[in-house]
Structure formats: structure tokens, C-alpha cells
Amino acid sequence: MSPALSLPVEAKREFEERLEAGRYQKGVRHLCERGVTKVPTKYILPISDRPQNGDDHNAANYGLRLPVINFAQLQGTGRAHVIQSLTRASEEYGFFQLVNHGIESDTILNMIEESRRFFELPFDERAKYMSADMRSPVRYGTSFNQKMDGVFCWRDFLKLNCHPLPDVLPFWPSSPLGLREAAVTYSKQVKFLYLMLMEAILESLGLVETTTTTPHEEGGGENGNLKEFEDGSQLMVVNCYPRCPEPDLTLGMPPHSDYGLLTLLLQDEVKGLQIQHGGRWVTVEPIPNSFVVNIGDHLEIFSNGRYKSVLHRVVVNSSKPRISVASLHTRPLDWVVRPSPKLVTEANPRRYKDTDFAAFLEHITSKEHKSKSFVESRKLT
């Protein structure tokens, strides 16, 4: 006899709720493996927060296309022109697509494929990497912040801390066999892209003179080099969005902004990412072999509000699972982020408080993380 059957009605209900909650904590892949045919109540959003059937799913028809930055031209004689395009993209959209970035297609395909294989492992194998420690070298989990989320989102994740790589690598998953090698190669190349982009961002803000040098040569950085960025934090978040039986009731990720300086997102061919632009949710059309790059909260603070982090979310679908890999970059976790003194003037007074990673952790562990609540909490009135 099941232990639940011998319990009084109220105790039975409590037992079933605990059992159900345990299933949620195991993630949506686990639910799908058990053959779920309806979205459980824990994942159903209030009507006002659900993706709409009309405008959102046909958002691409509005004609919005993210600005495209040609990385190859950024390294050549057209750099000044690309810097101007980068400025406009950062001011008007907070997002852009990066093409001709130089990372080989095999590196990208291997990262996507090995990520997919990880989520196809048996649950007990994936569960080895579950952790509540947000500073852990590796974390497997579900939803957005499962301890605080009132409603769960249709997403499982694997988070890999990438710095310093020799220290964290032994903790990364050893299965599937190709994951570590694929993730190391990918993380190193994406870090290089980030450094190149940060140098361009500093130029676009007028903090350094336009140059054709690389971050490892002279130039770059507010103090003449990019050392503080090279030694910064890099977190790779591998996202798995399984097929959803009722995609109009839930989201893969709720509206949020990213906490760091820049995020470089790799998507597979399945649509899902939406950004808020002009008061509408707009679907980002994946461009093969490209990255979606977005401004984070720390860059909004550092630029004293000139560049703003932008709300984005993820919708799910009933026909295809989706994999994405987000590489979040910022300064070292013990570094204080503040508006650049060169961007604070009488006409543009300081708009944000100092902040650090500890303040971010305190914020997201004390309340449900919604919208741009963290960066809003750092604003000076």
C-alpha cells in the first residue's frame, strides 16, 4: 500500500504536495521523461504574464532586425565605422548580432551537441551537479531561482564557472566524455571575443582613443590596458528548453536583464529569445553561426546610464527542444562596479550607487528576481 493512502485527507494532500514539489525540483527534463502531457500548475503563469498568442509569436513581422556588427571589420580599417554602429546599437537596442567572429563552426557545433548530450543523461547523473551555492564551479538546476520563484519556468540549466579555468575544470561534469574539451575550447574563444568587444565598447564611450590593436597589445581599458577585464568573471550558462505541451501558459525564462557587463549568447536554430523594444516583445531571428550580444546591468552602471541593459525573455514551443549557451562576463567578483568618473559630468551627474557581486547575490536570494529589479535598486534618486 502506498504510504499516502493510509494518511488522513489533509496529511495525504500535504504528502502529495511535497511529492509534487520534489518532482518540480528535478526539472522539466525529468517531467518530460515521465511523459507529462499538461503543464503542471507550478509552471502556469498568471494570465497577465503569459506570452500572447498573436503579437508575440508574430513579432518578427514587425520588421525589427537587431543591428549586425561585423567582427572582421572591427579588426580592420573599417573599425571607426563599426564603432559608430556599435554605439547606435548599444544606445538604441542594448542588443546586437555579431557575425564573422572567427570562431570555427566545429567549435560551435561541438558545444551545442555536447550540451544536448548532457541533458540527455539519466537524471541521477545530472543530479550529481545540483548545488545551492551560487559560487560553485558547476551547478545544475531548474527554473530561474527555484528557491524564490513563485511560478517555475520551463528551463533546466548547467552553469559552468570558467575563471580561473585550471581551478574549476576538475569540478566540471566528466560525462558526456566530450563536454569538458568542447566547453574549454569554446569558453577560451568566447572570452577573447568578449575582450575585443569590451575594448570597442570603451572606445565607443570615448574612454580610449580609436585603435586597431588587440587587447593583448598596447591600448584598451580605462587605465590603458584590459587587465582588469582579462581577470574578470566568466560564467557559461547552458540552457535546455524541452518541448512544452502548453507553451502559451508558461515561459522558458521570465523577463529579466543580465547582471554583468556583456553576455554573448549562442543559439541553436530554434527561435525562443525575445527582447522588449518599443513596448513590444520582439522575437530574435537566429542567424546561423552568429552570437547575440547584450548589454548587462554592470555596463549600464559603468556607462552611467548611456547604455542600458534591456529586458529579455524566452518563449517555448511544443514541437522542438531548444539549447542555448550564454557566456556572461564582468569584472572580478570582488571588484566594485561604479560609473566611470570620465562619464560623470555636471550635465550628466552620477546616477548609480557602487555595487559588487555580493550585493547582487544578496538581492536575488532575498526576493523573486523580476524585470530589472537589481539595477533599479542601484539607482540614485
What pTM was estimated for this model as a whole?
A: 0.88
pLDDT in the model for residue 150: 85
pLDDT digits (tens, 9 = 90+) for 68-81: 999 999 988 899 99
Q: Output the DSSP codes for 230-244.
A: HTSEEEEEEEEE---
Is the model more confident about 104 or about 381?
104
pLDDT in the model for residue 362: 72
| Burial group, residue 67, by CB count within 10 angstroms (0-12, 13-18, 19+) | middle
Residue among 13, 31, 33 nearest 22 (CA)? 31
Domain chopping of the chain, boundaries: 49-377
Q: Output the DSSP codes for 54-97.
A: TTTTTGGGG-----EEEHHHHTSTTHHHHHHHHHHHHHHTSEEE
Residue among 265, 237, 217 nearest 139 (CA)? 237
Is the model more confident about 334 or about 61?
334
Q: Which of 62-66, 212-216, 228-232 has the lowest mean pLDDT?
A: 212-216
Q: Which fold has domain 49-377?
A: Jelly Rolls (2.60.120)
Q: Cell 548611456, residue?
A: 306
pLDDT digits (tens, 9 = 90+) for 118-144: 999 999 999 999 987 878 999 999 987
Over range 327-340, report the average pLDDT.
Answer: 90
Q: Cell 571575443, residue?
A: 193
Over range 285-301, report the average pLDDT.
Answer: 93
pLDDT digits (tens, 9 = 90+) for 270-282: 999 999 988 889 9
Q: What percent of the chain is modeled with pLDDT above 70?
A: 83
Over range 91-109, report the average pLDDT.
Answer: 96
pLDDT in the model for residue 213: 42
Is the model more confident about 292 or about 365?
292
pLDDT in the model for residue 75: 85
230 has pLDDT over 80? yes
Q: Put residue 27 in one of left, alpha, beta given phi > 0 → left and psi -120 to 50 → alpha.
A: left
pLDDT classification of 333: cutoffs 50, 70, 90: confident
What phi, psi does 124 have (nearest 5°)?
A: -60, -30
Q: In angstroms, rounded to a whole number, what is the distance separating the alpha carbons of residues 331 and 169?
A: 20
Q: For residue 164, is the peptide bond before it cis, meaning its omega torsion is within 30 degrees of 0?
A: yes
| Burial group, residue 166, by CB count within 10 angstroms (0-12, 13-18, 19+) | exposed
Separation in Å, CA 139 to CA 101, 114, 156, 302, 312: 29, 16, 11, 28, 23
